[in-house]
Every structure is written in C-alpha cells, then in structure tokens.
Amino acid sequence: MSDEQHQNLAIIGHVDHGKSTLVGRLLYETGSVPEHVIEQHKEEAEEKGKGGFEFAYVMDNLAEERERGVTIDIAHQEFSTDAYDFTIVDCPGHRDFVKNMITGASQADNAVLVVAADDGVAPQTQEHVFLARTLGIDELIVGINKMDLVDYEEAKYKEVVSEVEDLLKQVQFNTDDAGFIPISAFEGDNIAEESDNTPWYDGEILLEALNNLEPPEPPTDAPLRLPIQDVYTISGIGTVPVGRVETGILSTGDNVSFQPSDVGGEVKTVEMHHEEVPKAEPGDNVGFNVRGIGKDDIRRGDVCGPADDPPSVAETFQAQIVVMQHPSVITDGYTPVFHAHTAQVACTIESIDKKMDPSSGEVAEENPDFIQSGDAAVVTVRPQKPLSIEPSSEIPELGSFAIRDMGQTIAAGKVLSVNE
C-alpha cells in the first residue's frame, strides 16, 4: 500500500447491469489482476455456459455465484490510483440480496452507480440510490454501462441520464454531487482511456472521476466502534471476530467490550491482510483475538468498543425515517426487520410521533395514525432482541439503518436518540 489517502467505494445498481464486470475491469486496468487470470476466468465461464462473465468472476468467488452468474455476498478488493488507495465493495444487485448491499453501502464513503444503457433505471437502481443517500454516501459517479449494446448512441445515453436525474431528484440526492459517464465495462470504453466510440463525450473518464472524488470526511473522534461481521475459529489463535473499524482505534492491549452480548477482555492480537499489526484505524477490515472470548460468546451484529465506553444497547430509540415503499400503511405496532451495521433485529414501531414535510423538514402532523410511501416521520422503536445502535449525531457510522419486510426495503433512517 502507498501513502495515498483511502476511499471506500461501493459499486451499486440493478442486477446484471455490470457492477462486477466493472470492478474486474478496473482491477485489470490498474494492474491489480494480471491478464492470465482473466484468461483463466474466461475459460471457466465458458465451460459453465456463462461466457462474458470473465471480469465478473474476479469478484464473484463463490461457486454458487459463478454457476448462477449473480453476486450474492459483498466482496472487497483493493486497488490504487494516483490519488487514492481504494477499497471497492462490490454489492449484489439481485433483490434477494439487498440486505448484503446495505452492509456494503454503509461501509462506503462514495459510490459508483451502474445503469445499463439498454435497460435504464430498474427497481434496484431506485432502491440502491435511495439507500445510498440515506446511509450517507456523499458523491455518486453514474456509469451508463453497456454502451456497446446501444451502438454508443448519444441520444440513448442522454435518455438514460435524464431518467437517472429524475430518480436522484425524487430521493433528494443533490445532482451536483453526481457525475455521468458513458462506459462499457466489458469492452473497456472510458474506463482507463478515452474511447473513440464516444466522440460526442468530452467529460471525465471513470479513473479520472475516481481520482477527483473529494477526500472522505476525517473519521469522527468517536470511541472505538467495530461491528462484528463474522466470528471464526482459527487453529493456533482461537476465536477471531472480524469486521471493519468504523470509528476510533483498536490496539493490542486494549480492554474491550462486545455489546449486546456483554462480554469483554484484553485484545491479544490484531490482524489485517493476513499480517499482525499493533493497531487498526477507521476503514480497516480486521480480524482480532480477545483473551477469554470463545466462539459462542459473541456473534455477528455485536459491536466491539472500549470497556470504559462500551457501545450503547437500546431499550428503545427514536429515529427519523423515510418510507420508500409499503403496499399499504404503517401504523403503531408494525414489526419489520431493522438492518443496522451488521445486525438484523426485528423491531416494533411503538409510536409514530411526528410526520414531516419531506421537502422542508418541518413537522406536518403530530402523532399521525399512519404513514405511507413517500412520508418522512419521527418514530419510537423497540427492538425485540437487544440491539447495539448509537445516535447519529454522536456516531453517524453506527446511527443509520434500513427497514426490510416482505423481501424489500420499506424505509431507511437515522437514530435521533437512544434510551438504554
């Protein structure tokens, strides 16, 4: 790794629009994946009847992903440009795996939205953009992909750009923070080099746009918060929780606490990229080992923090939410699943306290009987199982969530206050 600044970049968009292919292409063009590996993937893809997936296979490592030709879980890859060291989080587009996309987007500073030129805005384009905005993505680069399938036509490009602009306005994403580029991930147009196929386009190519992203906000000076993604048992080491440091520093010798499991101990080792390190900072994906902690003591969804400033566990919390889609109306007592950092917990909306005017943010109604699609509201929420979550004003990284029910994202929101 160089001394460049770091960016976590999520790749989002509808299923099959070419996200994994774009990541594979970027890694190839920046020299992170050698040509012979792409050749091997090409042979494997053709054997599986999935010709054309050679770049996507760079990211899709699971056997099931390769057989089906879809991304299921988020995958991380590193690559560097002149300006940044990037950690790319390739998100699945398929609607069954939106919960994994939420984890991916909540780890990212900025995002590339991939929209296939021959398909335009599709359901998960909309869902991902909404979530990206609510989960705190700052800037969006919009790659209008598969330009080769529409003969690199400017008119088609403009049509899809205006569809996406309408969508951004709808979810109140500032269009000044979005840039559009016509690309073909598969053919390599406007990724690392200006393409001859789009003479009508003279804006930035993708690598330029990535270099010109604003540096991420400096991490808050909040205490350590490290949501646990998985817990492994590794011979010779023992129990190894893994996850991403969201805020603060994790150092060997620290006394830490896992909440809501409510266990703790001293950090013995911290490992990053298979190497032992003395400490880890915000953005680092780590595995670590804590004295006295066994595999069954902690689980995915726990948050690790300092023993003297442990993660909050909510009895109830108040939150501001925006309802994206619900077939009928939401009333008191509704109990969908909340996805916050790596946790998924059923929570009851105990009361709907205020309905807000989404454009002005002013209170439109106190204690409304119900809310529905498009409404913004302040609600009081009671988790059905212990949930560690923080006020967004104190630790924004641990203060946002998505609400899912019936296989779709119903709403997303931010925590206003926590009642422990």
Number of residues that bind ligand GTP (CB under 6 A): 23
Got the DSSP string for 59-128? T--SHHHHHHTS--S-EEEEEE-SSEEEEEEEPP-SGGGHHHHHHHHHT-SEEEEEEETTT-S-HHHHHH
Quick one: tokens of 45?
């893809």
Contact status: 19 vs Mg ion (CB under 5 A):
yes
263 binds, among ligand GTP, Mg ion, none (CB under 5 to 8 A by kind): none
Give me the phi and psi of 154, to 5 degrees please.
-65, -40
- Cβ closest to ligand GTP, residue 96 vs residue 315: 96
Cβ 219 vs Cβ 289: under 8 Å = no
- Rounded Cα gap, residues 90 and 350, in angstroms: 35
Write down the least CB distance from residue 225 to Mg ion, Å.
29
- Cβ closest to Mg ion, residue 22 vs residue 322: 22
Give me the phi and psi of 265, to 5 degrees please.
170, -170
- Rounded Cα gap, residues 22 and 140, in angstroms: 15
Count how many Cα atoms sit within 13 Å of the Cα of residue 37 in the half-sphere of its side chain. 15
Contact status: 186 vs ligand GTP (CB under 6 A):
yes
Cβ 288 vs Cβ 240: under 8 Å = yes
**DSSP conformation class of 184:** B
Contact status: 206 vs ligand GTP (CB under 6 A):
no
Write down the least CB distance from residue 34 to ligand GTP, Å.
19
- Binding ligand GTP (rule: CB under 6 A), the pick from 7, 8, 71, 239 is 71
Task: Enumerate residues 6+ apart whose C-beta is below 8 A from 48.
Answer: 66, 67
Contact stretch for ligand GTP (CB under 6 A) within 2-10, 134-142, 178-186, 372-380:
178-186
Footprint (CB under 6 A) of ligand GTP, residues 9-28? 13, 15-21
Cβ 252 vs Cβ 278: under 8 Å = yes
- Binding Mg ion (rule: CB under 5 A), the pick from 7, 8, 20, 409 is 20
Number of residues that bind Mg ion (CB under 5 A): 3
16 binds, among Mg ion, ligand GTP, none (CB under 5 to 8 A by kind): ligand GTP
State the residue number with the nearest CB to ligand GTP. 93
- Cβ closest to ligand GTP, residue 17 vs residue 225: 17
**Closest of 230, 367, 224, 412 to residue 304, by C-alpha:** 224
Contact stretch for ligand GTP (CB under 6 A) within 183-191, 218-226, 342-350, 370-378:
183-191
Give me the phi and psi of 104, to 5 degrees please.
-65, -45
Contact status: 92 vs ligand GTP (CB under 6 A):
yes
Angle at 396 between CA 394 and CA 401, to 5 degrees: 125
Contact status: 146 vs ligand GTP (CB under 6 A):
yes
Contact status: 53 vs ligand GTP (CB under 6 A):
yes
Contact stretch for ligand GTP (CB under 6 A) within 167-175, 180-188, 268-276, 364-372:
180-188
- Cβ closest to ligand GTP, residue 71 vs residue 380: 71
Contact stretch for Mg ion (CB under 5 A) within 2-10, 71-79, 230-238, 266-274:
71-79
Please say whether the dihedral angle defined by the alpha carbons of residues 196, 198, 204 and 209, taken in this order, is positive or negative. Answer: negative
Contact status: 41 vs Mg ion (CB under 5 A):
no
Contact stretch for Mg ion (CB under 5 A) within 17-25, 32-40, 175-183, 367-375:
17-25
- Cβ closest to Mg ion, residue 8 vs residue 71: 71
Task: Enumerate residues 6+ apart whose C-beta is below 8 A from 36.
Answer: none
Element (H, E) at 334: none
Please say whether the dihedral angle defined by the alpha carbons of residues 311, 317, 320 and 323, taken in this order, is positive or negative. Answer: positive
Quick one: tokens of 6?
């770091």
- Cβ closest to ligand GTP, residue 188 vs residue 368: 188
Footprint (CB under 6 A) of ligand GTP, residues 273-312? none
Contact stretch for ligand GTP (CB under 6 A) within 49-57, 131-139, 293-301, 319-327:
49-57
Measured N-to-C along each axis, helices 154-170 and 123-134 cross at an angle, to the nearest 10 degrees, of 50
Contact status: 145 vs Mg ion (CB under 5 A):
no
Give the binding site for ligand GTP (CB under 6 A): 13, 15-21, 52-53, 56, 70-71, 92-94, 145-146, 148-149, 184-186
Give the binding site for Mg ion (CB under 5 A): 19-20, 71
